């Protein structure tokens, strides 16, 4: 994954990168000056140093004023960056969120006002700023797409708000950035930024019901959890996704069948129990899910 601070792709992360780079240069310079002075002192040349020729108290005044000026400049730059980066709460501005992102152990979903649901692959229009509400269904997670937005904790019972924006079409990787259990390290996501037309078409398609009515086997084995957002990810358009298991594996027929047959060996500890399905049942479920574009 490219380091977000060095590869920003939104006005918000651009501001973070400028702030980060500026502070890095200031602190690096201070380090070099202090290390240089310590080295100079170790060489035993302090007796003839210019500092001794100053009036008592003068040097203290100089370094106190310098430190105060540096900290003040960093404070002002930080406050200005925060004004650009931080999103308003929905009720403060009257604007309602364009999507609600929820962290689960261990996957993400995003729900849009028209009923569209994205699972671990969040679509946004390139070049337009969306207001996203971040929450959690279970424990504390942290939503972080380094190239696009600041981090935001996902806390059960609370909401955080971020601007989600990409300056160009593309696929941007995200992670859960707060330890949240055994599979925390495999709680990835993708943000897919596309043109307004592609985004509108995707949004419309995701809000439609499943193309094929579910077979009885699916109703019996899967629907109980996968139609309840508190229990399992929505599968209405699962075949249209690029990845499975929170961007863990590519969405191929073989990987889909492996998930259905042996969920606990693919991602140990996840909430999906091994149902000891026969090969025929796995094939039938994989075939049905694979048809859900
Ligand atoms: Cu969710 Cu770490």
pLDDT in tens, 142-155: 999 999 999 999 99
- Which ligand 1 atom is nearest residue 106's CA? 1
pLDDT for residue 41: 85
For the record, the structure tokens of 290 come out as 């694979």
Give me ligand 1 centre to Cα 121, in Å: 16
Give me ligand 1 centre to Cα 145, in Å: 13
Give me ligand 1 centre to Cα 123, in Å: 20
- Which ligand 1 atom is nearest residue 176's CA? 2
CATH topology of domain 91-202: Immunoglobulin-like (2.60.40)
For the record, the structure tokens of 48 come out as 């003839």
Give me ligand 1 centre to Cα 185, in Å: 7
Per-residue HEC secondary structure of the chain comes to CCCHHHCCCCHHHHHHHHHHHHHHHHHHHHHHHHHHHHHHHHCCCHHHCHHHHCCCCHHHHHHHHHHHHHHHHHHHHHHHHHHHHECCCHHHHCCCCCEEEEEECCEEEEECCCCCEEECEEEEECCCCEEEEEEECCCCEEEECCCCCCCEEECECCCEEEEECCCCCEEEEEEECCCCCCCHHHCCEEEEEECHHHHHHHHHHHHCCCCCCCCHHHHHHCHHHHCCCCCCCCCCCHHHCCEECCCCEECCHHHHHHHHHCHHHHCCCCCCCCCCCCHHHHHHHHHHHCCCC
Total-model pTM: 0.87
176 in contact with ligand 1, CB cutoff 6 A: yes
Give me ligand 1 centre to Cα 141, in Å: 4
For the record, the structure tokens of 32 come out as 């070099």
232 in contact with ligand 1, CB cutoff 6 A: no
pLDDT for residue 4: 64
- Which ligand 1 atom is nearest residue 184's CA? 2
| Ligand 1 atom 1 nearest Cα | 141
For the record, the structure tokens of 119 come out as 């699972």
Per-10-residue mean pLDDT of the chain, 293 residues long, equals 74 94 94 92 68 73 91 95 87 80 95 94 95 95 95 95 95 96 94 96 92 86 88 88 89 90 89 89 88 87
221 in contact with ligand 1, CB cutoff 6 A: no
Q: For the structural domain made of 11-85, what CATH number should be given?
A: 1.10.287
Give me ligand 1 centre to Cα 105, in Å: 7
Domain locations along the chain = 11-85, 91-202, 216-289
- Which ligand 1 atom is nearest residue 187's CA? 1
How far, in Å, CA of 255 to CA of 269, rounded?
18
pLDDT for residue 51: 59
pLDDT for residue 47: 57
103 in contact with ligand 1, CB cutoff 6 A: yes
pLDDT for residue 50: 62
Give me ligand 1 centre to Cα 159, in Å: 16
178 in contact with ligand 1, CB cutoff 6 A: yes
pLDDT tens figures, 53-85: 667 788 888 889 999 999 999 999 999 999 999
């Amino acid at each position: 994954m490219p380091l977000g601070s060095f590869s920003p792709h939104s006005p918000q992360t651009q501001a973070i990168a400028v702030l980060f780079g500026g502070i890095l240069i200031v602190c690096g310079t201070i380090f070099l000056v202090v290390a240089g002075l310590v080295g100079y002192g170790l060489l035993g040349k302090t007796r003839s140093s210019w500092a001794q020729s100053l009036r008592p108290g003068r040097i203290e005044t100089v370094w106190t004023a310098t430190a105060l000026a540096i900290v003040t400049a960093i404070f002002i730059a930080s406050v200005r960056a925060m004004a650009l980066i931080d999103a308003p709460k929905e009720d403060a501005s009257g604007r309602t969120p364009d999507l609600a992102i929820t962290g689960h152990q261990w996957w993400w979903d995003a729900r849009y006002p028209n009923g569209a649901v994205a699972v671990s692959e969040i679509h946004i229009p390139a070049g337009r700023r969306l207001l996203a509400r971040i929450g959690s269904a279970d424990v504390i997670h942290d939503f972080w797409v380094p190239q696009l937005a600041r981090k935001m904790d996902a806390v059960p019972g609370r909401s955080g708000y971020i601007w989600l924006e990409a300056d160009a079409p593309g696929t941007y990787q995200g992670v859960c950035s707060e330890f949240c259990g055994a599979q925390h390290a495999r709680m990835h996501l993708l943000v897919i930024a596309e043109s307004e037309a592609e985004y509108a078409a995707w949004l419309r398609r995701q809000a439609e019901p499943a193309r094929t009515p579910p077979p009885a086997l699916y109703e019996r084995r899967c629907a109980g959890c996968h139609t309840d957002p508190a229990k399992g990810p929505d599968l209405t358009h699962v075949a249209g996704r690029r990845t499975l298991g929170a961007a863990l594996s590519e969405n191929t027929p073989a990987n889909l069948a492996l998930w259905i047959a042996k969920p606990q060996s693919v991602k140990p500890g996840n909430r999906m129990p091994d149902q000891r399905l026969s090969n025929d049942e796995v094939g039938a479920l994989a075939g049905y899910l694979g048809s859900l574009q």
